[in-house]
Amino acid sequence: MSRDEMSALQGKRLHKMVEYVYHHVPFYRNKLQEMDLTPDDIRTIDDIVKLPFTTKKDLRDNYPFGLQAAPASEIIRIHASSGTTGNPTIVGYTRKDIGVWTECMARCLTAYGVGRDDIFSVSYGYGLFTGGLGAHNGVEMVGAAVVPASTGNTEKHARLIRDLGITGIACTPSYALYLAETMDQIGISKEHIKLRMGAFGAEPWTESMRKEIEERLGLKAYNLYGLSEVMGPSVSYECAMQDGSHINEDHFYPEIINPVTLEKLPLGQSGELVFTTLTKEGMPVIRYRTRDLCSLIPGQCECGRTSVRMSRITGRSDDMLIIRGINVFPSQVESVVLSMKEFAPRYMLIVDRVNNLDTLQVQVELRQEYFTATFDTPAAIDELQKRLASKLKSVLSIGANVQLKAPGTIERSQGKSAHVIDKRNQ
Ligand code: ADP
Ligand code: ZN
């Protein structure tokens, strides 16, 4: 679609959506009435800036079904987001919603090159989390054979990848690396397996992590982005260009805002990503603040798709740590750790407060080769520790107490990896 056609479609859908929530969700009707707005004020997609934002707190305050627009009889599936504090967010889907989700997921998989001849392992967790079932439906729609491996029992999974000739996988990037480690331990090398492509998401990752996964598993690693409040995985996906993720913007309309002033930012600038669902029936959201930080990429992609692309997520605005007054994102630490060949992509930030002063400890795991070569030479370890500390200092602008750890000693996660322990709030 040309940009004009897409904007026209989005405007038409937005008007319909606002009309729908106005009549079905008291929360939105009240908000619009407070702002003296009616659905007739929203005619084109540019009118979206008149609408109020929706936050995670709004979802929690209306737990469990307060923001649901469709009657209970139309809901055929319920998921809950993993939320670490307070009530989880409950999301109900109608049959049409599951259809849209499945098609969006199939678009992602098609862009990755998945087809009928592929055998595809879904290793996101199945259950309340949207990752497993969301990806699963898309694989079936494309016509590949889906292996619902889920997480857990990684050795068995590794053997299945080898024995069934599995060609594609969807999981978190950290689980992909864990899988690679497990394969090393049980003697399966990338020459024994047929993995060609992987759909990685559900947590932020970096270009160097991509290289590492591609190298160790012998596949092409693509980004897959989504969140349960908006749908689940399939909100955006990378194409063969691996240069930003195309947003399924006929269903999920993106904006970037300044998280402090809340004003909409021009194309290309970084800020907080906001989504409005344009077709959802179960639990539509209007200008939902994702807390994810990124930018929308101007210009058309070389692959030929005309949909707008988003950059990688560089952090969550609520992930941000404030240490001695300085904003610190775990992703900054990750970029330093991954730029040094001595380290595995495993790290943990431990923040504490001692005598009213914030302290930051960064634990990083050594790679096996490097550990074997140096573990009895304290001088080498000392030098490495100092080098890492000085790099961290220049990137973070605050000093960190660096602790080097033996391979395999930082706790692995099978779902989203946790990189921060903040003891100040405990
Ligand atoms: P929550 O983690 O808030 O309970 P979800 O389980 O739906 O909710 O996770 C959605 C969040 O996961 C996104 O808002 C984003 O922060 C993160 N996420 C998902 N996919 C990606 C990705 N490809 N890259 C970076 N972050 C991602
Ligand atoms: Zn593209």
Q: Which atom of ligand 1 is nearest to the CA of 129?
A: 6
* Nearest CA residue ID for atom 25, ligand 1: 204
Q: Which atom of ligand 1 is nearest to the CA of 82?
A: 4
Token pair 């982005």 in the structure block, residue: 225
pLDDT(85) > 60: no
Calculate how far, in angstroms, residue 303's C-alpha sits from the geometric centre of ligand 2: 4
The model's pLDDT over 145-189, given as tens digits with 9 standing for 90+, comes to 999 999 889 999 999 999 999 999 999 998 999 899 999 999 999
Best of 93, 292, 331, 419 for a ligand 1 pocket test (most atoms within 8 Å of beta carbon): 292
Q: Which amino acid is at 402?
A: V
Residue 426, C-beta contacts closer than 8 angstroms, at least 6 positions apart: none
The model's pLDDT over 365-413, given as tens digits with 9 standing for 90+, comes to 999 998 988 878 889 999 999 999 999 999 888 899 999 999 999 987 7
Q: Which atom of ligand 1 is nearest to the CA of 290?
A: 14
CB atoms under 10 Å from CB of 408, counted, come to: 14
Which protein residues touch ligand 1 with a CB less than 6 Å away? 81-83, 129-130, 201-204, 223-228, 290, 292, 313, 316
Give CA separation, 244 vs 144, 295, 351, in Å. Answer: 25, 10, 32
Q: CA torsion sign, 219 to 234 to 244 to 250?
A: positive
Q: Which atom of ligand 1 is nearest to the CA of 81?
A: 4
Calculate how far, in angstroms, residue 374's C-alpha sits from the geometric centre of ligand 1: 38
Calculate how far, in angstroms, residue 227's C-alpha sits from the geometric centre of ligand 1: 5
pLDDT of residue 84: 42
SS3 309: strand
The model's pLDDT over 87-122, given as tens digits with 9 standing for 90+, comes to 789 999 999 999 999 999 999 999 999 999 999 999
| Dist CA 166 CA 188 (whole Å) | 14
The model's pLDDT over 31-74, given as tens digits with 9 standing for 90+, comes to 999 999 999 999 999 999 999 999 988 998 999 999 999 999 99
The model's pLDDT over 254-272, given as tens digits with 9 standing for 90+, comes to 999 998 899 999 999 999 9
Ligand found nearest the CA of 302:
2
What is the chain's mean pLDDT, rounded?
Answer: 93
Residue 304 backbone zone (phi > 0: left; psi -120 to 50: alpha; other: beta):
left
Taking each helix axis from N to C terminus, what angle separates 207-217 and 330-338, rounded to the nearest 10 degrees? 50
* Nearest CA residue ID for atom 18, ligand 1: 202
As beta bridge partners, residue 309 has: 246, 297
